């Protein structure tokens, strides 16, 4: 139901100052394909309201002030102004010509060793929909990856809306508490409990509905800077259910800890539950939860992928990494390990549990 404000407000206009009304009017109608919606007075026009491209522009002759900027979202920006990306209207308004659906930009990236400690960071920033963020990748691996520890201190409904992300890869792991979410064409809303995980393929519409007090998740995305867009026309859940649907070549994955199967990990003395990303992303990504299941022998390893991230869910271990002194990692700590760097997990507690995320996938 519409609010009283929504019922009362009938439209909106952008007001722009104008000295030469005729010249400015011709520019907006001839060059930019706006149409005249209102003009007055008839004998000596001083105001013209133009409509087009889902916006109304009000030109007022004699009005002073900043002529402002107007962004036009174009299928082919270069075709509007002979390759130019900006025009200037006769009244001084700056016209920015941008792509309506800009391509995903994937930075080349630069792998670095990163260790982030829960005890060293009290800086939780405020983000979208009342969520608080702790940055786990300050350097962004050269702009290629972002990793965030996200929490919502107060439980209850979340002020979210149907939205999607222009990304190459994105996953959410429920670390503490629970959160109720809903995804496009994936059935009714469901609850993610601690230990559950989802793969959010490119541009799948989704919405966070409610959560428990103190809910925490770990989110990883590629590239680091990616666009979040609201879908104002979609209502979730959708009537259609298509669990095999591809979104940008990837399938949605819902991994539930209570149904997981534990198998030996690649290092002796550990076992892991695979979250199922490898098949769903055609080998782009892999994710698993690893725990001690015997006696680790301290063997070394390295990787040749573009990204390897470890988050300590429980317990503690010593991380030995070539070129750096040993570090004791405890719950909430995390690290990103560059390709080719020889590493070792040692002095692992019996309750050690790690979240491992890799691109390209480590088997």
Query: Does the pLDDT value for residue 276 go beyond 90?
Result: yes
Is the domain 114-257 a CATH 2.60.120.10 member? yes
Query: Does the pLDDT value for residue 187 go beyond 60?
Result: yes
Query: Does the pLDDT value for residue 273 go beyond 60?
Result: yes
> pTM of this prediction?
0.88
Q: CATH 2.60.120.10 in the chain, residues?
A: 114-257, 259-359
pLDDT at position 123 is 74
Q: Give the list of residues 6+ apart from residue 221 with CB closer than 8 angstroms, or none.
A: 145, 146, 147, 165, 167, 169, 170, 171
pLDDT in tens, 104-149: 999 999 999 999 999 875 678 777 667 789 999 999 999 999 999 9
Query: Does the pLDDT value for residue 1 go beyond 60?
Result: no
Half-sphere exposure at residue 327, Cβ-oriented, CA atoms within 13 angstroms: 17
Place 10 in a pLDDT band, splitting at 50, 70 and 90: confident
pLDDT-above-70 percentage for the chain: 96
pLDDT averaged over every residue in the chain: 93
Q: CATH 3.10.180.10 in the chain, residues?
A: 12-99
User: What integer is the mean pLDDT of 359-363?
Assistant: 75
pLDDT in tens, 301-336: 999 999 999 999 999 999 999 888 899 999 999 999
Place 220 in a pLDDT band, splitting at 50, 70 and 90: very high
pLDDT at position 145 is 97
pLDDT at position 125 is 77
Per-residue three-class SS string for the chain:
CCCHHHHHCCCCCEEEEECCHHHHHHHHHHHCCCEEEEEECCCCCCEEEEEECCEEEEEEECCCCCCCEEEEEECCHHHHCCCCCEEECCCCCEEEEEECCCCCCCCCCCCCCEEECCCCCCCCEECHHHCEEEECCCCCCCCCCEEEEEEECCCEECCCCCEEEECCEEEEEEEECEEEEEECCECCCEEEECCCEEECCCCCCEEEEEECCCEEEEEEEECCCCEEEECCCCCCCCCCECCCCEECCEECEEECHHHCCEEECCCCCEEEEECCHHHHCCCCEEEEEEEECCCCCCCEECCCCCEEEEEEEECEEEEEECCEEEEEEECCCEEECCCCCCEEEECCCCCCEEEEEEECCCC
Place 21 in a pLDDT band, splitting at 50, 70 and 90: very high
pLDDT-above-90 percentage for the chain: 83
Q: Return the CATH number of the domain spanning residue range 12-99.
A: 3.10.180.10
Q: Return the CATH number of the domain spanning residue range 259-359.
A: 2.60.120.10
Place 82 in a pLDDT band, splitting at 50, 70 and 90: confident
Query: Does the pLDDT value for residue 50 go beyond 70?
Result: yes
């Amino acid at each position: 139901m519409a609010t009283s404000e929504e019922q009362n407000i009938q439209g909106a206009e952008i007001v722009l100052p104008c000295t030469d009304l005729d010249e400015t009017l011709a520019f907006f109608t001839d060059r930019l394909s706006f149409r005249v919606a209102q003009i007055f007075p008839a004998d000596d026009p001083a105001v013209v309201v133009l409509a087009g491209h889902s916006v109304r522009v009000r030109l007022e002759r004699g009005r002073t002030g900043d002529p402002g900027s107007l962004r036009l979202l174009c299928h082919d920006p270069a075709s509007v102004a002979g390759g130019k990306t900006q025009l200037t209207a006769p009244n001084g308004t700056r016209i920015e010509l941008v792509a309506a659906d800009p391509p995903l930009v994937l930075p080349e990236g630069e792998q670095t060793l990163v260790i982030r400690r829960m005890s060293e960071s009290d800086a939780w920033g405020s983000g979208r929909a009342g969520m608080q963020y702790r940055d786990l990748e300050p350097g962004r691996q050269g702009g290629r990856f972002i990793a965030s520890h996200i929490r919502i201190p107060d439980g209850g409904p979340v002020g979210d809306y149907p939205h999607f992300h222009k990304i190459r890869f994105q996953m959410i792991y429920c670390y503490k508490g629970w959160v109720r979410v809903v995804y496009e064409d994936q059935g009714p809303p469901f609850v993610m409990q601690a230990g559950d995980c989802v793969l959010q393929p490119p541009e799948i519409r989704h919405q966070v509905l409610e959560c428990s007090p103190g809910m925490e998740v770990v989110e990883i995305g590629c590239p680091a800077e990616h666009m979040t867009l609201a879908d104002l026309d979609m209502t979730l859940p959708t009537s259609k259910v298509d669990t095999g649907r591809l979104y940008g070549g990837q399938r949605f994955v819902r991994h539930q800890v209570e149904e997981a199967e534990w198998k030996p990990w690649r290092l002796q003395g550990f076992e892991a539950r695979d979250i199922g990303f490898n098949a769903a992303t055609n080998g782009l990504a892999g994710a698993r939860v690893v725990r001690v299941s015997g006696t680790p022998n301290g063997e070394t390893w390295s990787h040749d992928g573009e990204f390897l991230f470890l988050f300590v869910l429980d317990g503690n271990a010593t991380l030995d990494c070539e070129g750096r002194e040993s570090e004791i990692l405890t719950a909430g700590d995390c690290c990103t390990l560059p390709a080719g760097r020889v590493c070792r997990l040692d002095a692992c507690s019996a309750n050690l549990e790690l979240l491992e995320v890799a691109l390209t996938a480590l088997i």
